[in-house]
Amino acid sequence: MNSFFPSLVIELHNRCEKVILLLENLSLPSEIEPNLKNTIKKSIAIKSDLESILTDPDFGAPELLLNQINSYKRCYESYSLIEKIQLPILLRYSKKDEFFHAFLKYSLSQVNYNIETPLISAASSNYYEVFADKNPVLSSFFVPVVDDLFLLNLPDLFHEIGHLIFFHYEKELSNEFISQLNAHLSKEKSRMIVENRPFNPVFYENFEELWKESWVKEHTSNMIATYCLGQSFGWQCLRICANTGEDVYFPAKIDIKPDDHPSFESQIQGILEILKIMGMTSASSRLNKKWNHYKSICHFEKPTEHDHCYPDHLMKALAQNVFDGCTTIGLKSFISQKHTKNEINIPLILDEAWTLFQTDPKKFLTWEDAAVKSLKASLCKKS
Amino acid sequence: MSNLGVFSHRYSSMSDLSREINDATIIIKKAHYNLAGKKDISPSQLAESRQYLTDVFINLMKNIQPEIHDFDSEIKKPIQLPISFIDHVKNSNKSEMTYFIDDLKKIINHLEKDQNLSLQDLKILDKMCSIMDEETSASFRKFWRKRSI
């Protein structure tokens, strides 16, 4: 390893140099200059970290080799993320990306999340997703390749925006909830002992890890999207569920750790909660009615474990925490968007799209074409 | 929907923590072994590294054994340790937890009082760096595989 390790560091340093050169020679539209500059800056920082390893007077000292290899690995991972995330977007920046950049920029300002616009690529093979970075301008969104032609999926972009907001405001959005989650866990564990019930430690370990590491993030992102868009996010969630055919109560048995996503049933319950807190009770009832109807058609059966995984009082606590957090951060809710007279009002356009889609599907198709054209023209004019 | 949002958040906090623990350990070890680079370490850098690692170990101990009584060191700065890291530490010391807790108390004491580190202290430091590194790499690999399909 002693002779192999320096070669690894030197080779990665060379890669960084080449990538920096490649990026410096790119000619891109002015709106993504900050993204390009920051990607170069990050690549230079990695290169500099590698130089620090190479020029360390103790480079290769047996006492430090383990730690130096660890430092190298973190550099490699950082470089690798640039190569996989930012670099392909910058190298293949297209007209579609340009439209989505304008759309994202406008959406962020409309919900009053004032950050420099992250990168966005309209070439996702993995539906909507976001790579969240501490530096917002290095964060990167991915959207499906034809979604500049349609409206109904767009609420999912707000779910990804929710992830980014959570990344930067975790305390405001979930601290109170985490205290309640911890209290719930202690109470449940004591109850098992007092009532002499069979205690399954794996369930509680997985419950804690899933909630803290994944579910709180997914639910919060849903709730932020609902806070900004109102019911249209809920309708889109129902549509995704119908399209994928997933059992709405999966996962409920968490003795074996499942995937990161919470069940659709709990997601819809979270959305309904936040709609109620926002005072949108009739929207919440409409969504609940359709959701129950969908479940009854598909004959999904609720396992008893479901309520243990997603306790009702915790869902309510999280919704309240997210609502309070959104207010503290200063995000604009759907209710306040309703009263603004912007030339482009994305939450209202999506709300109208979802209403028309359900009331008059045929009319919706022609309306959607015109709305997309008008949205593109207005955003083009603005940028 | 993918879980890239969750991954990136998780990886970012793991990677930051892994770097911080590793960097502080490098400084402590350079000073301890009197290596050539020791001359470039300022007293404040050394003190900060000691304090940082003290906080990491106190946080770790309180997570492993929340009901611990015979221990009066206070955390100067709360550090959020990932659950997977805590579980990994617990599992790798399962059969000798009492001894491990004793070792943690000793290293905290040595770091806090600016005393010389023992061979066992240094072993623990390296072990913690390795576990944090393994967890960070595992989190990174998950992402790597997902995006390589």
Q: What is the pLDDT of residues A55-110, one digit of tens each?
A: 999 999 999 999 999 999 999 999 999 999 999 999 999 999 999 999 999 999 99
Tell which of A54, A87, A131, A202 to mutate to test the B interface (max B CBs under 10 Å): A131
ipTM metric? 0.95
Output b/e per residue, A350-366; b: 16+ Cβ within 10 A: bbbbbebbeeeeeebee
pLDDT in tens, B29-40: 999 999 999 999
Q: Is the pLDDT of residue A253 over 80?
A: no
Distance from the Cα of residue A115 to its chain's centroid:
16
Amino acid sitting at position B105: K
Residues of chain A with pLDDT > 90, as a percent, come to: 86
Which of A132, A134, A213 is facing B83, going by the closest CB pair?
Answer: A213
State the average pLDDT over residues A23-46. 97
Chain B within 8 Å of A214 (Cβ-Cβ)?
A: yes
Indicate yes or no: CB of B4 within 8 angstroms of CB of A131: yes
Q: What are the angstrom distances between the C-alpha of A366 and each of A149, A153, A231, A373, B109? A: 12, 17, 22, 11, 73
**What gap in Å lies between CA A6 and CA A69, rounded to an integer?**
10
Q: What pLDDT digit, counting tens, does each position of B49-95 carry?
A: 999 999 999 999 988 987 776 677 777 888 989 988 999 999 999 88
Partner residue opposite B129 with nearest CB, options A70, A156, A159: A70
Is A260 touching B (CB cutoff 8 A)?
yes
A116-141 confidence digits (pLDDT tens): 999 999 999 889 999 999 999 999 99
Count of A-B CB contacts under 8 Å: 116
> CA A282 to CA A285: how far, in whole Å?
5
Averaged pLDDT for residues A264-272: 97
> In chain A, which residue's Cα lies nearest the Cα of B66?
A186
Amino acid letter for position A86: Q
Give the separation between CA A41 and CA A35, rounded to whole angstroms.
10
Please report which confidence band the pLDDT of residue B148 belongs to, taking 50, 70 and 90 as the band edges: low
Burial A214-251 (b: 16+ CB within 10 A, else e): bbbbbbbbbbbbbbbbbbbbbbbbbbbbeeeeeebbbb
Percent of chain A with pLDDT over 70: 98
Residue B149 pLDDT grade (very low, low, confident, very high; cuts 50, 70, 90): very low
Contacts of A240 in chain B (CB under 8 A): 1
Nearest CA in chain B to A162: B5
The answer to whether the Cβ–Cβ distance between A71 and B23 falls below 8 Å is yes
Residue A275: pLDDT band by 50, 70, 90 thresholds? Answer: very high
